[in-house]
Amino acid sequence: MGIEALLAALRQDPRFMGAVTHWEVEPARPASWAPFPEAIAPGVRAALAARGIERLYSHQAEAVAHALAGRHTVVVTPTASGKSLCFHLPVLQRLRERPGSRALYLFPTKALSQDQVAELTALVRALGSDYRTYTYDGDTPAEARRLLRDGGHVVVTNPYMLHTGILPHHPRWTNLFQNLGYVVIDELHTYRGVFGSHVANVLRRLRRVCAHYGAQPVFLCASATIGNPRELAERLLEVPVALVERSGAPRGERHTVLYNPPIVHAELGLRASAVEQVRRLVRRMLPFGVQIIVFARSRNEVEVLVKYAKDAAARAGLPAEAVAGYRGGYLPRLRRRIEQGLRAGEIRVVVATNALELGVDIGALDVAVLTGYPGSIASFYQQAGRAGRRLRPSLTVLVGRSSPIDQYLLRHPHELLYAPREQTVIDPDNLLIKVNHLKCSVFEVPFGPGESFGTAAPPAPAAPGGARHDPAAPEVAALEGGPRPDETRQILEYLASEAQLLHRVGDTFYWMAQAYPAEGVSLDTTDVDNFIVYDLERRCVLGEVDRPSAMTEIHEGAIYGWQGEQYLIERLDYPGRRAYARKVQCDYFTQAELDRSIKALAVDAEARFATYEARRGAVEVTTQATLYKKVRFYTRENVGAGEIHLPAEVLDTTACWFTLAAPLAARHGLFGPQAGALLALRNLLQHTVPLFVRCDPRDICVWSEVRAPAWGDRPTLYLFDRMPAGSGLAERVFAAHRAIFATMLAVLRDCPCPHGCPGCAGVELEIGPGAKPIAQRLLADLLADDAADGRAPSPGRLELPAGTPG
């Protein structure tokens, strides 16, 4: 029994091994130690010794030395390598030297901060001091708030509270800001995309408030392994940052297995479903007594897999409580219970979304099973890192899906295992985000003459040295459009003269409005305007759903999964933001279908080729849920349908789109029987873009129209950003689109299926017979023509991913 026995059994299982495309073993690694830095006071050292820490890992010593020297630092380490000591030690040392000093700890979520507070409090106790560590979040009672504002030596909070609770009210926090020595930012890698861009702006505000009080804190950051930790830190902090990246912590042997589900229908190119394969794997592994974490892509998938795993647990003689789901939308108390159950070993299987990627303390697990490639290499390692924190072997199984990107990586395992991690990109200068935080910042401290919000010129991204193996390299190239000019003044002037939110006296801008700007700004677009799902029987709240998802997840008639149980949405009070659910026994789940229209508002760039035109600009996307299908568990057959009557969602965003020349379209029959080839291109585009632009696949949407009225009734392929006002994805795709087309073509050529499969163009049923070869010829035609006029991006600068025939 145990992980060793499981590994041996799998190796001897011909059926399992038949689906394995790659099995990687990394040997165990011993610890590397270093002495305490000289500057650490003997008392602090003694306190650590009392906690069983006699010496430091090399990376801890290095980070502490940087921090004590006043250098902003980012530490990159795997989970459970003792990174928190890298913060605690300099913070305690400084408190020792200057008892009035203060530190601020930022964690991306509440849950993470609780673990850290416990650790720091234990250290302080061992030190025999009364430095006080307080958590400031939405749960902190009002009386405690005053106490911690004045007396908390270490204030632990999250970006949301910093954004709405602390910065706007900084006069009540003068003690903190005047004496702020260190700002600790943990889980730096989670500050990416839209959220990261918001947080970068919150940090700009933090620096302005510190400057108001004359404080210059040192920033200490920690990040999981990503491609560009220093660059990310420097973009977030807008100052030079020292990097500590060689971990001195020991690690057990790691097994990474890439598993491609067998083809079940050769003609259609259909593979067994990844979810189904995961179900079998879990059933196979459970009897070995290992603790398993299963990652699924969507909330729906989590619920389906929890149900499967509970069935499997029952068969293995385990109680139903040994299986749990863990996803966004569960209430905090339930999450805490699950985390404890995992640490205590009572929960043997947890099925999670990427909500558990973060450093939530759930103890050591033995096996991680990934249902499909999680969308980025960094995510892949984060999820895999959940297994094997102890000095024991661990196993990660990536079960591939039929999608082009999964199939591509399973065929090229080195792209996954040896490629440099992707660049994590944020766009602190996204206009919507920047304007919103600029408003908050003026509210906090008036803007004086010549002051700018953020650096005008962000540090240039490091040139990718080993770009040959780096699928993200084209994106980096695409980023080098040069820094945007500083817009601060123009925005301030607009906010004063037209929006009348600011008052200008000479060259200084003051907030002068009754509104409270931080209230209207959500850091991740999901924490505002949520729907509550209410259980009619138990009379309690089951969970929350964000507004854009409501039309597909909690429309009337929808089946809402919760902890493996099914709830029927009986009524949706749309204006009241409430859904009423009743637990039901049913053998199906629901899937909604969408209708969409895209209106271009402005074209910001255009490139004309003989066979197509590429454009990017501002669009208005109107999305409407039309009907839903009932899909049976296990067999996935369609057992019914219903209509959805809900208001349309309107999104103002940025997009790029490609309009094909009419003769080309006519030649390939796109207006007639071969319209499906456009769907094939759309499927390919959706799945290929994440190889070029580091983003969550759900951050982008693709759409197509065979006869786009705005574009001369010609076939048009759209890609738009899900973030209101756009997060810069459309620009990058526009710049890199020739390379993306080339990879799409390569995917089609590489795939052996004759008529299209989920691993390339989509299934024949969807795209129609003959669409795959048409799509292939179309792409070849699009790429053949190299002579663009207009402001075309220069394709020469883009590098293709390795293994991609040009």
Interaction site with other proteins (CB under 8 A): 168-172, 174, 431-432, 435, 439, 442-446, 487, 490-491, 494-495, 498-501, 503, 505-506, 508, 510-517, 601-602, 604, 617-618, 652, 725
> Min. distance of Cβ 366 from other proteins in angstroms?
41
3 state SS of 168:
helix
Which of 514, 585 has the CB closer to other proteins?
A: 514
Which of 490, 638 has the CB closer to other proteins?
A: 490
Which of 189, 616 has the CB closer to other proteins?
A: 616
> Min. distance of Cβ 483 from other proteins in angstroms?
15
Which of 517, 676 has the CB closer to other proteins?
A: 517
Furthest-apart CA pair in the chain: how many Å? Answer: 82
- CA torsion sign for 249, 255, 260, 261 is negative
Q: How many CB atoms lie within 10 A of CB 396?
A: 24
Nearest to 593 by CA among 628, 559, 560: 628
Cα distances from 332 to residues 109, 156, 610, in angstroms, run: 11, 18, 56
Distance from C-alpha of 484 to C-alpha of 492, rounded to nearest angstrom:
17
- 523, 723 in Cβ contact below 8 A? no
> Min. distance of Cβ 210 from other proteins in angstroms?
13
Distance from C-alpha of 4 to C-alpha of 311, rounded to nearest angstrom:
25
The type of residue at 186 is D
Residue 703 forms beta bridges with which residues? 718
> Min. distance of Cβ 439 from other proteins in angstroms?
8
> Min. distance of Cβ 592 from other proteins in angstroms?
29
Q: How many CB atoms lie within 10 A of CB 167?
A: 23
Hey, what are 572's tokens? 């949706």
> Min. distance of Cβ 162 from other proteins in angstroms?
14
Which of 52, 506 has the CB closer to other proteins?
A: 506
Which of 264, 512 has the CB closer to other proteins?
A: 512
> Min. distance of Cβ 443 from other proteins in angstroms?
3
Which of 508, 549 has the CB closer to other proteins?
A: 508
Which of 174, 597 has the CB closer to other proteins?
A: 174
> Min. distance of Cβ 779 from other proteins in angstroms?
31
Hey, what are 782's tokens? 């699009």
Say how far residue 491 (Cα) sits from the centre of its chain.
29
- 218, 182 in Cβ contact below 8 A? yes
Contacts of 258 (CB under 8 A, 6+ apart): 20, 21, 22, 23, 398, 400, 409, 410, 413, 416
> Min. distance of Cβ 449 from other proteins in angstroms?
11
> Min. distance of Cβ 703 from other proteins in angstroms?
21
Please, what is the end-to-end C-alpha distance for the chain in angstroms?
50
φ and ψ at residue 753, rounded to 5 degrees: -65, 150
Which of 486, 781 has the CB closer to other proteins?
A: 486
Distance from C-alpha of 42 to C-alpha of 55, rounded to nearest angstrom:
13
Hey, what are 629's tokens? 């299908």
Which of 433, 681 has the CB closer to other proteins?
A: 433
